[in-house]
Structure 1
């Protein structure tokens, strides 16, 4: 298994940049270059699928050549199918900063895009632990993880204590919004969702890394309003091993969810510095009262100059 970081980092970054620039052109022009991948299903058909709850598993290809199974018309899957990547800035950041033999923890792995990226980046001796609590999404994650031997998929939630929690599943069309809280979607969309609730096991990250005997280098957190619970369960990690942390933020006034500013301040209270990403590069972050969707990266103060 070759590694992106050691052998293909520059090539992967260039391919990702090409895909990013192509994604900003009109879809009909891109269809001419990739008719099999982009001509079907059309955007209008995908919208109808969402309205009727129809889903379809297909394969996508990342810019660095990995094949990944996705479930249309989920928003993440559409991006991967059409563009080959999701969240450009965070993808570039990981391609630049993940190194051989690192341990990467993906909290909220979904179908496994970032886990697969990290798998190639850290190489055969590195380790990737991918947490995904939704049973149907986990089955797709397992298929994708099966192509990368250093990924360990874990069908559990990450929480502030070892327990069993209720998880709201909004179906394959909206699987990226599954949460222990209300879906982070406009009311006009939520009103038409079909919801199922599962009881799922949950673990603390501090307990998990102790039981695994591993030292995490990077932790990605994308858990749809449950961020504070994850952070409260990794206090020892933030004080001890002090990994780099990426955190998805965004204030959607979800009942019971912590405001993004509190999340940022919480991590910074452990002696971390916050950075925002622009074209994959980290710039010092200034606290805001309200946040839209983005990823904030945190580094221990003693290693912040590495970003």
Structure 2
């Protein structure tokens, strides 16, 4: 046989490809028992809420149908009752006429033909009027009952439609939120960087965190946020050209949120006394291309210019210039840091739109060192963390703390930690909470209008 006439030989896969296929089949068989229950539970979680809402909607619809059947039965009963009443009235009218005829029968023999004819016509007319009156009453009753039934049916249909629309909106919102969180979680990773730091992607951009700061790392890996409600409010409040002052900036998450909301046009003054945290804050702004917007001050803000001890907490967000109540197995440590006042550190005549204070008990000292800033900025808004445990630690009562803000004309509302919506919270509720971020502004300030809120 000629070489050209020979059938082509099948190409056998290489040894490496055959081994790879065997490994893939083996991995598939090993992963399948794990992935299948996980996929089943995920699908059940995503659909369970929808099924429950559908069951509740069906129950509402069944209740409305039962009510409509009851109304129809009552209408039929009323119509039957009206007909029975009409028959009784007609019967009584006929009996009355018959009695009148019998009583006056002897008179018919003596009256003339014309008088008898007139009497008969009068009786006939009386019976006709009674019949028409009863018929009109029955028709009016039927029309009124039918109109009431139609109104009830229309109201029931609108209620069912409203329930269905609310159910659909809630379920679609929930699915959108789940999809959003799933997408974020898929992208959220922690990459070990230099100098014992970890790089993460948060809701506002890339941030650096110390690899030993486990509480902060857990929060960022879980949700991508540390103070979601406050972050949402800041993004709603600030805009292009605004000035944001961040006292106790920590890792800079809220400063990054403000920078994003300003779209690169604005100014941020951040104060962070702890050197390692401050260095990560500056690096994070550089990573996100926002270095030109921020001015970082390496000092603690207080009511004087000088030096003080910064007591280190169990996590980087709890450092304070006041002694801390630490767990018994945690070693107390501190470092020396500079102190400044806002009046001395910020440019004279600066217009500030929003001032955030998170200082673990030093809030009133910071306010005392910002008298000129607050007096020269009547439209300024404040976001201040209130922690009853911090107040007890530094010797302030809640009345005294809130009163200091009230003396400067500020009114407060609580920031919902999940949605950022402003809420009215009583002083008693504030004293019972572990911590609450409060939004302050003066009466009549445009700050309230920015958030669509009327005090």
TM-score over 0.5 (shorter chain): yes
Distance (whole Å) between structure 2 residues aligned to residue 18 and residue 214 of structure 1:
40
The equivalent position to 1:205 in structure 2, one of 327, 342, 354, is 342
Aligned to 1:252: 389
Q: CA 1:77 to 1:229, structure 2 compared with 1: closer, same or farther past 3 Å?
A: farther
Aligned to 1:296: 438
Structure 1's consecutive aligned runs of 4 or more residues displaced over 6 angstroms after TM superposition are: none
Distance (whole Å) between structure 2 residues aligned to residue 102 and residue 36 of structure 1:
30
The equivalent position to 2:226 in structure 1, one of 86, 89, 93, is 86
Distance (whole Å) between structure 2 residues aligned to residue 266 and residue 20 of structure 1:
45
Distance (whole Å) between structure 1 residues aligned to residue 269 and residue 393 of structure 2:
29
Distance (whole Å) between structure 1 residues aligned to residue 179 and residue 437 of structure 2:
17
- 8 Å CA contact retained: 2:245, 2:352: yes
Q: CA 1:217 to 1:36, structure 2 compared with 1: closer, same or farther past 3 Å?
A: closer
Q: For structure 2, list consecutive stretches of 5 or more residues without a partner in the other structure.
A: 1-172
Q: CA 1:261 to 1:140, structure 2 compared with 1: closer, same or farther past 3 Å?
A: farther
Aligned to 2:302: 159
Distance (whole Å) between structure 1 residues aligned to residue 295 and residue 244 of structure 2:
11
Q: CA 1:197 to 1:33, structure 2 compared with 1: closer, same or farther past 3 Å?
A: closer
Q: Which is higher, the Rg of structure 1 or of structure 2?
A: 2
- 8 Å CA contact retained: 2:360, 2:387: no
Query: How far apart are residue 36 of structure 1 and its match?
Result: 6.9
Distance (whole Å) between structure 2 residues aligned to residue 182 and residue 231 of structure 1:
20
Aligned to 2:249: 109
Deviations 1:171-230 (A, max 9, x none): xx61111111133x5x5xx2222333222111111222244x521110000011111111
Q: CA 1:197 to 1:301, structure 2 compared with 1: closer, same or farther past 3 Å?
A: same
Deviations 1:218-249 (A, max 9, x none): 00000111111111111222222031000001
Instruction: Tell me which of the two structures has the higher relative contact order, counting C-alpha pairs closer than 8 angstroms and 6 or more residues apart.
Output: 1
Aligned to 2:405: 267
Q: For structure 1, list consecutive stretches of 5 or more residues without a partner in the other structure.
A: 1-13, 23-29, 42-54
Map residues 1-307 of structure 1 onto 2, 5 A cutoff. 18=177, 22=181, 34=186, 37=189, 56-64=196-204, 66-72=205-211, 73-146=213-286, 147-148=289-290, 149-170=292-313, 174-183=315-324, 187=326, 190-211=327-348, 213-242=349-378, 243-252=380-389, 254-278=392-416, 279-288=419-428, 290=431, 291-303=433-445, 305-306=448-449, 307=451
2:346 partner SS: helix
State the Cα RMSD in Å. 3.0
Distance (whole Å) between structure 1 residues aligned to residue 385 and residue 307 of structure 2:
23
- 8 Å CA contact retained: 1:274, 1:285: no
Q: CA 1:231 to 1:32, structure 2 compared with 1: closer, same or farther past 3 Å?
A: closer
Structure (1 or 2) with the greater helix fraction: 2
Distance (whole Å) between structure 1 residues aligned to residue 395 and residue 258 of structure 2:
28
Aligned to 1:49: none
Q: CA 1:140 to 1:260, structure 2 compared with 1: closer, same or farther past 3 Å?
A: farther
**Count of matched residue positions in the alignment of Structure 1 and Structure 2:** 263
- 8 Å CA contact retained: 1:225, 1:257: no
